[in-house]
């Protein structure tokens, strides 16, 4: 496959769509943009991408070097191109200006380059001064700054682009990536002996009315391939093979499962179950000792990565009852319920009661709140992390055990932010449990990943942003999110700022 430089592709796209005005973003436009990214990411990138990343690093180091300090004993030789490059544009501009002007007037007597260096110590030699001057005259900025501008403009154009028209014109179709194994966790047969609306009216709503929204919950499992991808990729019509670039072929067939709980009043329970696929169905003793410990994750294992009856019982005991209201009602589908009422009853703590409502088989896609809305957002959030990992070739391998735990811990922590209450309430509204449509709100992924301006910098270290925290509202770079500022630990947040 021919190597590409993504920034060239983006620039070409930008040129093609310059005439479009900005408008509101629709879901299908977002999907198209994701798909285009998928295509770009599926190509091996040229070394230019490496330069792009290096440019970013240089920009960062230049920020700390750009202020000339009196005690700086900066020496550089032309043989050291890297040190020459880390001088930022503003600094060069100032140096050139100082060389040419005095008090806003052109200098009467030309200044020697050594005199310029006396003040701008990062200037290594005479030639460089002329280069800086040419650069300043051409109005060019360093690569990274250019890319920032291009990316910002491109995003505007992308979101303004029309989905169908674009696809037709380019003869591009959205297709399922052929190599990916898609799995259907919803194996149940359609059984409409109990109609969904009857279930809602006769079984669910009476409990909702009598016990209140806070006591009415829904919990469901969601399976993840160890590496999740957008699954669809744009391809030219007629192309047979749709390759998806993946970090590990093996990882695609392995999976894990999460089980989280939400309530009708918009809360997410502060802890969830995460079941990883492990050889022999359990963690080795050594693994258990050193395994990543996340405050909101109850980690278990099974040989398939799916939940067995024992897992579901453990979920009731550790992840449900401690956080449930005194008299609670939980909606489960026939899979999650596992139909062992007797064993479940034994786990009910003294002083609490439980009413378990089983969603009729075949109706979960219509009336299970987690299914109709929540997990879709959850998965797209996970994808943002994984796509970013792929794009930057980050040393984070998302199919490794500890990284799965951390990734899901971050996602769950974000979902728990009071900011996303309306999103959870909306899941229950959409599934038909109440009639009060929450006021306009941003979903977790919209707020965390799409609301940061492309030129915004990380709150902690001024690097390129990656996401905005749904709790503290801060923009974070990937590193400050994943490892924490100065490796202080990943961004697990509970400081809510309106
Ligand atoms: Zn940062
Ligand atoms: Zn935060």
pLDDT higher than 80, residue 134: no
Ligand closest to Cα of 491 equals 2
* Ligand 1: centre distance to CA 373 (Å): 31
* Ligand 1: centre distance to CA 390 (Å): 19
Local structure of residue 479 (DSSP, 8 states) = H
pTM: 0.61
In 3D space, the residue among 119, 76, 75, 81 whose CA is nearest the CA of residue 97 turns out to be 119
**Angle value at C-alpha 68, between 64 and 71, nearest 5 degrees:** 100
Are 445 and 452 spatial neighbours (Cβ–Cβ below 8 Å)? no
Domain positions in the chain: 196-439, 452-498
| Mean pLDDT computed over every residue of the chain | 76
Ligand closest to Cα of 466 equals 1
- Higher confidence at residue 140 or residue 103? 103
Q: Worst-scoring range by mean pLDDT, 401-405, 415-419, 452-456?
A: 452-456
pLDDT higher than 60, residue 91: yes
Spatial separation of the C-alpha atoms in residues 268 and 371, rounded to whole Å: 15
* Ligand 1: centre distance to CA 459 (Å): 6
Question: In 302-355, where does DSSP find H-type helix?
Answer: 309-314, 334-337, 341-347
Ligand closest to Cα of 468 equals 2
Find the radius of gyration of the CA atoms of the chain: 27
**What confidence tier does 45 reach under pLDDT thresholds 50, 70, 90?**
low
* Ligand 1: centre distance to CA 493 (Å): 15
* Ligand 2: centre distance to CA 287 (Å): 29
- Higher confidence at residue 340 or residue 227? 340
CATH 3.30.420 fits 196-439, yes or no: yes
């Amino acid at each position: 496959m021919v190597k590409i430089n993504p920034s060239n592709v983006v620039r070409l796209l930008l040129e093609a769509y310059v005439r479009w005005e900005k408008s509101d973003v629709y879901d299908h436009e977002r999907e198209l943009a994701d798909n285009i990214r998928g295509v770009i990411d599926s190509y091996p990138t040229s070394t230019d991408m490496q330069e792009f990343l290096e440019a970013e690093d240089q920009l960062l180091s230049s920020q700390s070097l750009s202020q000339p300090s009196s005690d700086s004993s900066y020496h550089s030789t032309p043989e050291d191109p890297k040190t020459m490059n880390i001088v930022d544009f503003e600094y060069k501009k100032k140096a050139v200006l100082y060389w040419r002007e005095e008090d806003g007037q052109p200098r009467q007597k030309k200044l020697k380059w050594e005199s310029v260096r006396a003040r701008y110590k990062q200037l290594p030699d005479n030639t460089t001064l002329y280069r800086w001057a040419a650069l300043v005259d051409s109005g060019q900025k360093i690569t990274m700054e250019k890319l920032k501008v291009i990316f910002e403009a491109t995003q505007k154009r992308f979101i303004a682009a029309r989905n169908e028209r674009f696809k037709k014109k380019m003869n591009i179709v959205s297709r399922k990536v052929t190599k990916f194994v898609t799995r259907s966790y919803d194996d149940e047969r359609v059984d409409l002996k109990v109609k969904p609306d009857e279930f809602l009216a006769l079984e669910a709503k009476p409990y909702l009315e009598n016990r209140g929204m806070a006591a009415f919950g829904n919990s469901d499992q969601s399976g993840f391939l160890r590496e999740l991808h957008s699954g669809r990729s744009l391809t030219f019509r007629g192309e047979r093979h749709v390759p998806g670039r993946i970090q590990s072929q093996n990882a695609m067939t392995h999976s894990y499962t999460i089980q989280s709980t939400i309530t009708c009043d918009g809360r997410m329970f502060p802890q969830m179950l995460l079941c990883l696929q492990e050889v022999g169905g359990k963690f080795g003793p050594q693994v258990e000792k050193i395994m990543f410990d996340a405050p909101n994750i109850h980690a278990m294992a099974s040989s398939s990565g799916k939940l067995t009856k024992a897992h579901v019982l453990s979920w009731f005991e550790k992840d449900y009852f401690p956080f449930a209201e005194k008299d609670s009602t939980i909606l489960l589908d026939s899979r999650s319920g596992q139909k062992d009422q007797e064993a479940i009853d034994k786990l009910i703590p003294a002083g609490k009661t439980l009413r378990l409502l089983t969603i009729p088989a075949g109706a979960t896609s219509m009336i299970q709140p987690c299914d109709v809305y929540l997990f879709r957002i959850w998965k797209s959030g996970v994808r943002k992390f994984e796509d970013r990992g792929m794009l930057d070739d980050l040393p984070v391998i998302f199919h490794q055990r500890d990284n799965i735990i951390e990734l899901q811990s971050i996602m769950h922590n974000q979902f728990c932010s009071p900011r996303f209450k309306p999103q959870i309430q909306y899941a229950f509204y959409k599934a038909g449990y109440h009639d009060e449509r929450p006021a306009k709100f941003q979903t977790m992924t919209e707020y965390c990943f799409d609301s940061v301006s492309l030129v915004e910098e990380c709150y902690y270290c001024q690097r390129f942003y990656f996401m905005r925290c749904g709790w503290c509202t801060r923009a974070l770079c990937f590193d400050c999110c994943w490892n924490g500022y100065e490796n202080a630990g990943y961004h697990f947040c509970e400081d809510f700022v309106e």
